[in-house]
């Protein structure tokens, strides 16, 4: 009997060792963008990182349903609002990490330490280089002016990126002023809203509209693939609040059995050595200041970002959706 107990103990220790050398990430960020990074971590540390990829709402509901039985150690999303929702539902654990606090600016992380940005994704104005002069552009709000009637393209209001932009505007301008701006945008539309930002950028290139609002990495892909692509970035609100930024980020799952290893992985993702690769694979901006930019991104020039904490995208999201619906943005 003592020998049997001893063998069972050894088996238990072996299972624990294997489990501790493996992390599971529930990720909204697409597999081609993260798997090379995850594989690099395995090569450097010996810890395997497995992923399950789906939309944030699906992953959040899965985490909630699995509860204490989940295998997930980290949740990764491409929107601050989704991270906020997961945290508010108690699905993410607060982390105390001097390394993360030093690496990630305060406005790009949860004030309670439940999630942290890993890259920034600006949503700003883009314009036709053939039909619009940069001097004609200034702010998000100015796109509601009558001069842009029949010249503006937007993506569907159902996309969370637009909801987060409007949520931030509500925080900055108030609901009444924001609704007036959004109504002006709708009145200026050249065509029905697009399903994605690539279609929107191509519509500008084709002359269907002259200006629009997109996440800059969509334009980065197009500029990288097509020399002389006739659409360019304009950094909005540089004399005031700064351009809107959202994030791709992650937090440690509250029910994770490997929180210490998950924290090491999160700190590694935020390190100087990794940040450039994490962001440049998708033409994004590193969350950590001072990290080298991809040449396509660097060519857009330096810009002032809105310093509001990105968690606003979450706690004002429902209000933003209602406002967009009232304004007729479909």
Instruction: Detail the residues annotated as belonging to a binding site.
Output: 217-218
Q: Are 120 and 164 in contact (CB under 8 A)?
A: no
Helix (H, G, I), strand (E, B) or coil at 275: helix
Instruction: Quote the strand ranges of the chain, DSSP E.
Output: 22-27, 48-53, 74-77, 116-128, 152-153, 211-215, 231-234, 244-252, 285-286
Q: Are 118 and 288 in contact (CB under 8 A)?
A: no
What gap in Å lies between CA 30 and CA 281, rounded to an integer? 11
DSSP string, 179-194: HHHHHHHHHTBSSSPB
Residue 313 CB burial class (10 angstroms; 0-12, 13-18, ≥19): buried
- State the helix-helix crossing angle for 160-173 and 175-187, rounded to 10 degrees: 130
95-99's contacts with Cβ under 8 Å and 24+ in sequence apart are 95/251, 95/252, 95/263, 95/266, 97/263, 97/266, 97/267, 99/267, 99/270, 99/271
Instruction: Quote the strand ranges of 100-173, DSSP E.
Output: 116-128, 152-153
What gap in Å lies between CA 138 and CA 120, rounded to an integer? 21
Task: Output phi, psi for 152, to 5 deg.
Answer: -105, 140
User: Cα separations (Å) of 59 from 19, 161, 178, 197, 246?
Assistant: 22, 18, 31, 23, 19
- Owner of token pair 């406005």: 107
Q: Which residues are annotated as a binding site for Fe cation?
A: 217-218
């Amino acid at each position: 009997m003592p020998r049997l107990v001893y063998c069972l103990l050894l088996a238990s220790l072996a299972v624990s060792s294997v489990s501790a050398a493996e992390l599971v990430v529930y990720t909204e960020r697409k597999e081609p963008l993260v798997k090379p990074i995850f594989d690099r971590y395995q090569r450097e540390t010996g810890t395997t990182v497995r992923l399950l990829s789906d939309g944030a709402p699906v992953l959040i509901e899965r985490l909630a349903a699995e509860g204490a039985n989940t295998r997930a150690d980290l949740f990764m999303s491409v929107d601050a609002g989704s991270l906020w929702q997961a945290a508010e539902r108690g699905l993410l654990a607060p982390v105390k990490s001097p390394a993360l606090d030093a690496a990630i600016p305060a406005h790009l992380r949860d004030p309670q330490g439940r999630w942290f940005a890993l890259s920034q994704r600006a949503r700003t104005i883009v314009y036709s280089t053939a039909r619009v002069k940069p001097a004609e552009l200034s702010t998000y709000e100015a796109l509601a002016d009558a001069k842009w009637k029949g010249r503006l393209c937007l993506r569907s209001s159902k996309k969370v990126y637009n909801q987060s932009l409007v949520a931030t505007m509500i925080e900055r301008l108030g609901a009444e002023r924001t609704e007036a701006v959004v109504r002006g945008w709708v009145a200026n539309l050249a065509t029905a809203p697009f399903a994605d930002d690539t279609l929107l950028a191509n519509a500008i290139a084709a002359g269907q509209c002259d200006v629009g609002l997109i996440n800059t990495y969509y334009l980065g892909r197009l500029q990288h693939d097509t020399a002389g692509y006739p659409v360019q970035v304009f950094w909005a609100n540089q004399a005031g609040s700064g351009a809107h930024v959202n994030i791709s980020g992650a937090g440690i799952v509250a029910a994770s059995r490997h929180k210490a290893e998950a924290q090491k992985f999160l700190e590694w993702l935020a390190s100087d050595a990794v940040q450039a690769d994490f962001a440049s694979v998708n033409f994004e901006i590193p969350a950590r200041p001072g990290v080298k930019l991809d040449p396509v991104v660097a060519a857009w020039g330096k810009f002032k970002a809105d310093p509001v904490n990105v968690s606003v995208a979450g706690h004002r999201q429902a209000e933003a959706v209602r406002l967009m619906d009232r304004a007729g943005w479909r």
